[in-house]
Amino acid sequence: MKPALIFDMDGTLFQTNTILELSLDDTFAYLKALQLWNLNTPIDKYREIMGVPLPVVWKTLLPNHSEETRAAANAFFSDRLIKNIEAGNGALYPNVEALLHHLTSKGHPVFIASNGMPAYLEAIVKFYNLNRWVTETFSIAQISSMDKGDLVAEVVAKYGIENGAVIGDRLSDINAAKTNQLLAIGCRFDFAQEAELAQADVVIEDLSEVKALLSLL
Q: Quick one: pLDDT at residue 131?
A: 97
Domain limits for position 34: 17-86
Are residues 47 and 114 part of one domain? no
Are residues 112 and 58 part of one domain? no
Q: Quick one: pLDDT at residue 164?
A: 97
Amino acid at 64: N
Cα dist. 27→43, 44, 54, 128, 194 in Å? 11, 15, 14, 25, 30
Are residues 113 and 40 part of one domain? no
Are residues 125 and 81 part of one domain? no
Instruction: State the total domains in the chain.
Output: 2
Are residues 167 and 108 part of one domain? yes
Residue ranges of the chain whose pLDDT lies below 70? none
State the angle between helix axes of 67-86 and 118-127 in degrees (0 to 180), rounded to the nearest 10.
10
Are residues 191 and 108 part of one domain? yes
Q: Quick one: pLDDT at residue 54?
A: 79
Q: Quick one: pLDDT at residue 106?
A: 96
Are residues 206 and 183 part of one domain? yes
Are residues 136 and 185 part of one domain? yes
Are residues 55 and 101 part of one domain? no
